[in-house]
Amino acid sequence: MRPTSSVPAIRLSDYKQPEFWIETVDLHFKLHPTQTRVRSKIVFKGNTDRTDGPHDLRLHGQDLKLLSASINGTALKPDEILLDAEGLTIPADLVPQGGFLWEAEVETNPQANTSLNGLYMSNGMYCTQCEAEGFRKITYYLDRPDVMAVFTVAIDGDAPVLLSNGNNLGDGKWHDPWPKPAYLFALVAGDLVSHDDHFTTMNGREVDLQIFVRPGDEDKCAYAMDSLKRSMRWDETEYGREYDLNLFMIVAVDDFNMGAMENKGLNIFNSKYVLASPETATDRDYELIEGIIAHEYFHNWTGNRITCRDWFQLCLKEGLTVFRDQQFSGDARSHAVNRIENVLQLRARQFREDAGPLAHPVRPTEYIEINNFYTATVYEKGAEVIGMLRTLVGADNYRKALDLYFERHDGQACTIEDWIKTFEDACQMDLSQFALWYAQAGTPRITVTEDFAGDTLTLTFTQTNPDTPGQTDKKPQVVPIRTGFLAADGTEAAPEQTLVLNAGVQSFEINGLLDKPTLSLLRGFSAPVVLDRQITNAERAFLLTHDTDPFNQWESGRAYALNLLQDMVVADAPVDAAFPKAMQAVATNDALDPAFRALVLSLPSEDALAQAIFESGTAPDPDKIYAARQNLAKAVATELAGDLPDLYGALATPGPYTPEADPAGKRSLRGAVLSLISHLEPDCASAKAQFAAADNMTEQLSALATLIRHNQGGDAVQAFYNQWAADRLVIDKWFTVQVSSAPADSAVEVAKALTEHKDFDWKNPNRYRSLVAGFAMMNPAGFHRKDGAGYEFFGDWLIKLDPVNPQTTARMCGGFETWRRYDPARQQMMRAQLQRIADLPNLSKDTAEIVGKILN
Ligand code: B3K
Ligand code: ZN
């Protein structure tokens, strides 16, 4: 194994409580773009549990200029402070061990901070991002989540709006009464306007709600505000959680490394997940805004009031909060459609991660850079684990356990052990085997055989837990498998059961059956596993028509398509004529939700197909994958030719646009129908007409994508730009749609040309991702082009971004994580790019960790 980085790894097993606690923090900011001064007064208290003293005072600090420091009012001399790149140390003999007042003044340069961690500037506005370890770029501190303190903040600056956490004391002064770790600190200052509203809590307390945006954007906040109010009410009714301050603020910023951040009382959002109008945001954007607003709000209890003891416990807050936001979105929209969308995401991102060199447990045991562990595994698989727990204990016990969790751990920094213990105590059960879900990486694979004799069906399951980097010889996990039994007429031959697997091989008997039923296994995707089952396409078609579980109904259609496409790619099989007929039956079945029908009609992604082909033992050919999907779509379009015009007409949503699930579902099916129609129209007349007539971004963008895919983009691409040149979020879409929909043979040239465009402001993460990730992750055939030009383009841009923004670069390296799937020539070319990056002299530790793992 080559070392992944010269920086030492941090290990869960090395956790120790801090030597000192912090009671209160007073911060004074004198804002300046290049020379911001921060004065801190911090009351430390000795940790009486650490009897191994006396202790030095070790504080984290990065990129800071220390101007002065004192302990209990006595100034420290320069030779009493040992400064290094990660912080400072004051020798124990100068540190009153029981407690003391630390005062310091530092200078920092927000303008030069392109990492977007700590205090930085975005379009003339000051803002912060402190999770995970950004606070140490603001002042010297014990920057670890188990140190919780009460913060008071004073901001001195020219900006009209000066914000921080907690209650507003006026004149740029703020006090947050709730002790919090430093990663939840936030400060914003700028020329902002607010969209205001209010909320009355379940106990009748009035809360002011404010969404701050740049002047001109205030008319795009209504949906975010509505989502916030619905989230607040939902957390009260579903979890009994009431908001705990008199003010809740959200600020939208343009330069942000991720989606949003749950700072106490002052959430900071990527403007993409706040701003929406029908003309500029798609239905998917509205859905994401609703989900992310909810997610960050829900963190107030799961994350802020109860936080993590250390960063290894990240899934404690993230897995649970994702689970909660998924529940909320399911309640707000359609549970079936949401579940399918979530599983599509899980498979596309988390299964991919679990199957590759970056696989890690839901609770990792070591890291070099914690920002690299905000992953699909921690978030999405973490949420699946909570979902399984709920399935196993039942809804009532789940609520009981959550009540106990809030009661027992409010105000604490906790671990996964605390979480599991709460469930064990509330539900009186032993969860030690279940806890393996947190410790073992990799997606379990389940196979099943069926044996029917007399009136008894015997199901025998086998569970395999694959090896992952650094982990072998795994134990069987607890896998709840919701199972239905369908009779030939489509009715349920026996009541649904949840079969709980907890061994490598295990049999279950179902008695009293008249005939051998068709099994509906893993309903609702009740566990994040790969289920390999012997099933014919005819049985899949039967389940697609008859399964009473909508998830499995969809799943049967998807498995059918995947199987067929795989045969088309690997064995040059012709299109199975039964498949387009099955799709026709779903597409024209008005009893089914349009959103659901759209999901059934959308074929498995190129990446999903590549993974399936790789797992079956063949190197996937990206060109053949692309062609097979096109051919199958064409065959479906041909079968449906007579239905498409009527369907397209009937799905129109007349009247003003609303973002609710019903009209959005219709638009989604209509987009799928348009895409089919376009396979039959050489001039793409319908897409051109839709593009010209669209009064909302969903329809405008889906028409544009269709035109570009069929090489008919020209005029529409220019018209779209002219119309939206002033709207940065729409121009992000303009970049993405071109690179993601461009035909494979020209995609890299399109991408290269766009990097020269005057609007390609690559230091802005949204803009960078819109082009570079849009190409590398959303256009597989273009990215994997035989001559390696796609890989080189991607490599060049990772290298360019790393010194500016390591966090986003490291995340983007995931574009190369599947290099081992491909043929030797492609492997060699991707490897060469990875090696080129790994060999850079000043590579960030973020990128070094990820690239090192991908190469190993
Ligand atoms: N907690 C933040 C993510 C912080 C990422 C730091 N690299 C957003 C969220 O999960 O809600
Ligand atoms: Zn979160």
Å from CA of 139 to ligand 2 middle: 24
What does the pLDDT average to over 793-820? Answer: 98
Q: Which of 339, 348, 334, 231 has its CA nearest to residue 291?
A: 231
Hey, which of 135, 137, 257, 261 would you mutate to test ligand 1's pocket, going by the most ligand atoms within 8 Å of its Cβ?
261
Residues 467-506 pLDDT 10s: 999 999 999 999 999 999 999 999 999 999 999 999 999 9
For 445-527, give the CATH class. Answer: mainly beta
What does the pLDDT average to over 261-267? Answer: 99
What does the pLDDT average to over 556-566? Answer: 97
CA distance 86 to 81: 13
Residues with CB under 5 A from ligand 2 (ion): 318, 321
> Which pLDDT score, from 0 to 100, does residue 364 have?
98
CA distance 406 to 402: 6
The whole-chain average pLDDT of the chain stands at: 97
Residues 110-128 pLDDT 10s: 999 999 999 999 999 999 9
CA distance 53 to 447: 55
Q: State residue 468 phi and psi, 5-degree precision.
A: -135, 165
Q: Which of 244, 253, 159, 174 has its CA nearest to residue 202?
A: 244
Å from CA of 263 to ligand 1 middle: 10
> Which pLDDT score, from 0 to 100, does residue 839 have?
98
* CATH 1.10.390.10 in the chain, residue ranges: 307-439
Residues 39-52 pLDDT 10s: 999 999 999 999 99
CA distance 274 to 325: 16
Q: Which of 711, 849, 706 has its CA nearest to residue 366?
A: 849
Q: Which of 321, 307, 458 has its CA nearest to residue 386?
A: 321
Flag whether pLDDT at 5 surpasses 90: no
Q: Which ligand is nearest to the CA of 262?
A: 1
Check whether domain 725-856 has CATH 1.25.50.10, yes or no: yes
> Which pLDDT score, from 0 to 100, does residue 4 have?
47
Flag whether pLDDT at 221 surpasses 80: yes
Hey, which of 374, 378, 379 would you mutate to test ligand 1's pocket, going by the most ligand atoms within 8 Å of its Cβ?
374
Residues 135-182 pLDDT 10s: 999 999 999 999 999 999 999 999 999 999 999 999 999 999 999 999
Share of the chain above pLDDT 70, in %: 99
Residue whose Cα lies nearest atom 2 of ligand 1: it is 261
* CATH 1.25.50.10 in the chain, residue ranges: 725-856
Contact 154, 88 (CB under 8 A): no
Q: Which ligand is nearest to the CA of 273?
A: 1
Q: Which ligand is nearest to the CA of 811?
A: 1
Burial per residue of 301-311, b for 16 or more beta-carbon CB atoms within 10 angstroms, e otherwise = bbbbbbbbbbb
Q: Which atom of ligand 1 is nearest to the CA of 262?
A: 11
Å from CA of 374 to ligand 2 middle: 9
C-beta neighbour count of 695 within 10 angstroms? 10
The DSSP annotation for 243-279 comes to --SSEEEEEEESS-SSSEE--TTEEEEEGGGT---TT
Residue whose Cα lies nearest atom 1 of ligand 1: it is 261
* CATH 2.60.40.1840 in the chain, residue ranges: 445-527
Flag whether pLDDT at 2 surpasses 60: no
Flag whether pLDDT at 1 surpasses 60: no
What does the pLDDT average to over 285-312? Answer: 99
Q: Which atom of ligand 1 is nearest to the CA of 132?
A: 6
> Which pLDDT score, from 0 to 100, does residue 3 have?
40
Query: How does residue 7 score in pLDDT terms, banded at 50, 70 and 90?
Result: confident
* CATH 2.60.40.1730 in the chain, residue ranges: 20-191
Å from CA of 291 to ligand 2 middle: 11
Hey, which of 256, 258, 377 would you mutate to test ligand 1's pocket, going by the most ligand atoms within 8 Å of its Cβ?
258
Residues having CB closer than 6 A to ligand 1 are 131-132, 258, 260-262, 295-296, 299, 318, 371, 374
Q: Which ligand is nearest to the CA of 316?
A: 2
Structure tokens at 214: 């740049």
Counted residue by residue, the chain has a size of 856
What is residue 632's three-state secondary structure?
helix
Parallel, antiparallel or unpaired: strands 87-90 and 167-170: unpaired
Q: Give pTM, 2 decimals.
A: 0.98
Residue whose Cα lies nearest atom 10 of ligand 1: it is 318
C-beta neighbour count of 670 within 10 angstroms? 23
Cα first-last separation, the chain: 7
Å from CA of 812 to ligand 2 middle: 19
Q: Which residues are catalytic?
A: 296
Residues 70-89 pLDDT 10s: 999 999 999 999 999 999 99
Flag whether pLDDT at 593 surpasses 60: yes
> What fold, for 20-191?
Immunoglobulin-like (2.60.40)
Residue whose Cα lies nearest atom 7 of ligand 1: it is 371
- For domain 307-439, which CATH number applies: 1.10.540.10, 3.30.1110.20, 3.40.50.1970, 1.10.390.10? 1.10.390.10
Residues 736-755 pLDDT 10s: 999 999 999 999 999 999 99
